[in-house]
Chain A
Amino acid sequence: MTTDTINESLADDHHGDSHDHKMTGIKRWLYTTNHKDIGTLYLWFSFIMLLTGGALAMVIRAELFQPGLQIVEPDFFNQLTTTHGLIMVFGAIMPAFTGFANWMLPMMIGAPDMALPRMNNWSFWILPFAFAILISSFFMESGAPNFGWTFYAPLSTTYSNGSTAFFVFAVHIMGISSIMGAINIVVTIMNLRAPGMTYMKMPLFVWTFFITAYLLIAVMPVLAGVVTMLLTDTYFGTSFFDAAGGGDPVMFQHIFWFFGHPEVYIMILPAFGIVSTIIPAFARKKLFGYSSMVYATASIALLSFIVWAHHMFTTGMPLFGELFFMYCTMLIAVPTGVKVFNWVATMWRGSMTFEMPMMFSIAFVILFTIGGFSGLMLAMTPIDFQYHDTYFVVAHFHYVLVTGSLFSIFAGTYYWLPKWTGHMYSESLAKWHFWCSIISVNLLFFPMHFLGLAGMPRRIPDYALQFADFNKWVSIGGFAFGLSQLIFLAVVLKCIKGGEKAPAKPWDGAEGLEWEVASPAPYHTFSTPPKVD
């Protein structure tokens, strides 16, 4: 009762006109510069995109349920796989983490808001616009992009179906959104930390987002560059990637993956931050090896810049190139392993309880590690020749992105829902979400390892008979996993509507400034910075 009322009245005294009237209705959401509102917008947007990308995946799995082309044409199938990838990467995972960044970073560092609140509003609102452009391409004569989310040239240039322009514009806008968001995060963390909060006193969550933001600033512009080259090659007669004009299609892959590899670390480092927050809370024990964790995260980020060509082992690289990239990629296993060991050491001899945030975090550690193992196998060039462009790769990246990133998002949502809504979520309903998800997700993605080893390539709408049995189980897992996310929707909606009133700190082992404000967090928090010792 006391802290927030004091804060509110202080806020009134200090701010005078600008925040006197809180807007209501549509105007509130359109014009908001409040980090909590913007966080909410990002989170809902990402969830809608998750369901949209998921629906596309359901059609894919329905087609792949049996051998033969039953439901869609091969070209439309390629449109489905392409947009599924684009939507999940740029529409679901990245905006979800941006949502967490917006909601939690200011509170965690004791700041009143993000450093650049108006730019923050734009960062969000251009996103629905970008995805409207992308999704509208389905209804054009050309169809949606059908060249894979990795859009290699010349399939995406000379031999494109005409959707290249829409694709490029949508990606440019998504990129601008990410860059603006990243700049906001860096300035906020650099400049708005409460007095006494030195860098090495920041929660690890803040560190991971800080480092991720730097990665974004470094590589999103390279993506912008490569899609611009794509645009000019397709429509304005340049020959960056066209051998006829002296260009090189393999150069496209180099430039794309120079962005693409750091991009996948952009999608996992925030997950590491979330899990590093939750495990100590529920083990009631400080995170093991805080400084190691910081250095490990920074090493992973730095190493991510020199491993890109491990996506290109079959392009005809000379031996020393293959060896260099193999060794560097294998090296990333070291700091990543350090993080996993540190999480386990945090659990070890703790006093654990297993509410939903902890359940998803533990599942993250186990299943992400499995994804890491398949990644290590892929790193080894001679064997990669057998795995590349097969379902083994599909299994790998879905383990790290779904049971990795997405599960961390679920964990974080459950962890902070009480702070956001003021209510406890229904643990029993959430348990259904957890168990249905974890069983179905493994049924969905584990057999893909076997499919890849048995020789099934990626991005094919129909397959030889020896792949039929596993595909059937994978599809069943897919349908079940998709349906399980509706349970999550129910938990979230129910929690927003009502439920057991949440105290300021519902998790007794939790640490961090966000637990010092009431639940739900007041619209304005830390208008005066707290003292940190």
Chain B
Amino acid sequence: MSKHNPRWLLGGGLFWGSLIFNSAWADSQLNLTQGVTAISREVYDLHMLVLYICTAIGVIVFGAMFWSIAFHRKSKGAKPADFHESTKVEILWTAIPIVILISMAIPATSTLIDMEDNDNSDVTIQITGSQWKWHYKYFDQDIEFYSVLSTPREQYENHNGNFTGKDSEKGQNYLLEVDKPLVIPANKKVRFLLTSDDVIHSWWVPAFAVKQDANPGFINEAWTKVDKPGIYRGQCAELCGKDHGFMPVVVEVKSAQDYDAWLNEQHALTAQAAEAEKASLSASMSKEELMQLGEKTYMAYCAACHQPTGLGLPPAFPALKGSEFTTTGSVDEHIDVVVNGRANTGMQGYGKQLSLKEIAAVVTYERNAWGNDSGDLVQSADVKAASGE
């Protein structure tokens, strides 16, 4: 049998094709995840159904083509046939695909109806997308927090050939880790209310098969019910500016008791933070303390746009180094912009995200680093006074 005999090719193709698409390969790197919810498994099954159907059609159509290429060639002495139309055949290959499509549309419709049923949830969480982080607020609890990428900057900034330094060695959850993940209970219907406070973002967790856009000024709903406790990671799925690839979604699903314990923990933490804020009003930090905390805060929250060098990316992200705003300009105005942001620009307010101490430190840092040397030192009490916090 010649190596190029189409029968051999066809048989080989079928064998390898069926191997690849065997559902034993479900959780391989090649295929969609089955996920951890009833819906995600339905979605996976639909995906496999469509894939199988397309593969079958492909095998038939391409098979016919390869057969034709092998045998209906001039070099083999084939003479061209006469036929060039057949209404019967056209009707057949219009009707059969329609039937196949209907057979796919029915299960798809049923799954979609299930996905769109957002009623009767046990927990509701308000999710806000921002450039470039997520904010979570628990509807029935007084718990809210930001969730920001926590992969250290040195790991991903590999310019100037920094791929070989130890710092650039990438952690296991590189770009998919955050400082504070969303926590939800397992086996409870959790409803998400999505919006954005600037541009369009999109909240996606593949393991839940949940993806909904976060539109500014509007809310969207989605829901999930996760079977298995664990940590599930996703990413923002709508281009939202330069750090679109750096605002991951991390959800920690806890068992019912662990979830309740976590809620209590959060309430305690909120109370503690409030205490710390009050205490910091009377505290006075030294310049070293301010610059150290300031640099840490700056690198974590400000450097993404204003750059570690303070040079910014003008005109969208102004330079802080050598700028009038951070040197001779009013300290109070500087504090106001850091706390409250500047409307209709990319500069958001950090008042809710950072403590009074951190804001005091970062403003001090910006006024004294990179040769700015304004000599201004800012304390927590100044921040409270200047911003009306």
Q: Please, what's the 1-or-0 string for B207-222, where 1 marks a CB less than 8 Å from any CB in chain A?
A: 0011111011110110
Q: CB distance A351 to B108 under 8 Å?
A: no
Given A366-B62, A377-B47, check contact A75 B313 (CB 8 Å).
yes
A463 touches B (CB below 8 Å): yes
Q: CB distance B61 to A344 under 8 Å?
A: yes
B242 to chain A, nearest CB (A): 4
Q: CB distance A331 to B101 under 8 Å?
A: yes
B297 cross-chain contacts in A, Cβ below 8 A: none
A243 cross-chain contacts in B, Cβ below 8 A: 215-218
A457 to chain B, nearest CB (A): 5
B237 cross-chain contacts in A, Cβ below 8 A: 314, 388-390, 457
Q: Please, what's the 1-or-0 string for A269-287, where 1 marks a CB less than 8 Å from any CB in chain B?
A: 0000000000000011111
Indicate which residue in B42, B51, B204, B242 contacts A377 across the interface (CB closer than 8 Å).
B51
A352 touches B (CB below 8 Å): yes
Given A66-B163, A351-B72, A373-B58, check contact A316 B220 (CB 8 Å).
yes
A454 to chain B, nearest CB (A): 6
Q: CB distance B202 to A383 under 8 Å?
A: no
Interface of B is mostly: mixed
A519 touches B (CB below 8 Å): no
Q: CB distance B30 to A453 under 8 Å?
A: yes
Indicate which residue in A319, A334, A389 contacts B101 across the interface (CB closer than 8 Å).
A334
Chain A, 357-372, CB within 8 A of any chain B CB: 362, 365-366, 369-370
Given A67-B174, A316-B215, A464-B176, check contact A289 B86 (CB 8 Å).
yes
A350 touches B (CB below 8 Å): yes
Q: CB distance A283 to B80 under 8 Å?
A: yes
B62 cross-chain contacts in A, Cβ below 8 A: 366, 369
Residue of B nearest to A242 (CB): B217
Indicate which residue in A330, A362, A369 contacts B61 across the interface (CB closer than 8 Å).
A369
A466 to chain B, nearest CB (A): 7
A288 cross-chain contacts in B, Cβ below 8 A: 83-86
- Identify which of A145-153, A188-196, A258-266 touches chain B: A145-153
B249 to chain A, nearest CB (A): 11
B271 to chain A, nearest CB (A): 35
Given A162-B315, A290-B85, check contact A326 B32 (CB 8 Å).
no
B308 cross-chain contacts in A, Cβ below 8 A: none
Q: Please, what's the 1-or-0 string for B309-337, where 1 marks a CB less than 8 Å from any CB in chain A?
A: 00001111000000000000000000000
Chain A, 82-128, CB within 8 A of any chain B CB: none
Indicate which residue in B80, B89, B211 contacts A285 across the interface (CB closer than 8 Å).
B80
- Identify which of A301-309, A335-343, A425-433, A499-507 touches chain B: A335-343
A26 touches B (CB below 8 Å): no
Given A370-B58, A388-B211, check contact A155 B241 (CB 8 Å).
yes
A67 to B246, CA, bound (A): 13
Q: Please, what's the 1-or-0 string for B365-381, where 1 marks a CB less than 8 Å from any CB in chain A?
A: 00000000000000000
A69 to B108, CA, bound (A): 40
B173 cross-chain contacts in A, Cβ below 8 A: 464
- Identify which of A29-37, A244-252, A437-445 touches chain B: A244-252
B54 touches A (CB below 8 Å): yes
Q: CB distance B33 to A382 under 8 Å?
A: no
Indicate which residue in B64, B212, B242 contacts A314 across the interface (CB closer than 8 Å).
B212
Residue of B nearest to A70 (CB): B158
A393 to B221, CA, bound (A): 24
A460 cross-chain contacts in B, Cβ below 8 A: 235, 244-245
B64 cross-chain contacts in A, Cβ below 8 A: 344, 348
B257 touches A (CB below 8 Å): no
Given A68-B158, A154-B199, A344-B65, check contact A285 B54 (CB 8 Å).
no
A509 to B78, CA, bound (A): 14
Q: CB distance B30 to A450 under 8 Å?
A: yes
B57 cross-chain contacts in A, Cβ below 8 A: 373
Query: How many cross-chain pairs have Cβ atoms below 8 Å apart between A and B?
Result: 297
Q: Please, what's the 1-or-0 string for A468-485, where 1 marks a CB less than 8 Å from any CB in chain B?
A: 011000000000000000
Q: CB distance A455 to B33 under 8 Å?
A: yes
A1 touches B (CB below 8 Å): no
Q: CB distance B42 to A382 under 8 Å?
A: yes
Q: CB distance B238 to A389 under 8 Å?
A: yes
Q: CB distance B170 to A67 under 8 Å?
A: yes
Q: CB distance B244 to A338 under 8 Å?
A: no
B33 cross-chain contacts in A, Cβ below 8 A: 455
Q: CB distance A351 to B101 under 8 Å?
A: no
Q: CB distance A347 to B85 under 8 Å?
A: no
B186 touches A (CB below 8 Å): no
Q: CB distance B168 to A68 under 8 Å?
A: yes
Residue of A nearest to B203 (CB): A314
A185 to B74, CA, bound (A): 37
Given A283-B80, A314-B237, A322-B112, check contact A386 B242 (CB 8 Å).
no
Indicate which residue in A74, A354, A376, A459 contacts B50 across the interface (CB closer than 8 Å).
A376
A464 to B245, CA, bound (A): 10
B65 cross-chain contacts in A, Cβ below 8 A: 344, 347, 362, 365-366
Interface CB pairs A-B, < 8 A, 8: A155-B241, A243-B216, A330-B105, A346-B84, A373-B58, A377-B51, A380-B104, A459-B245
Query: Which 7 residue pairs across A and B have the least CB separation, nearest first?
Result: A243-B217, A460-B245, A316-B220, A68-B158, A286-B84, A349-B81, A75-B242
Extra A-B contacts (6), CB below 8 Å, given A380-B104, A386-B43, A388-B237 = A68-B157, A155-B241, A314-B238, A338-B90, A344-B65, A350-B78
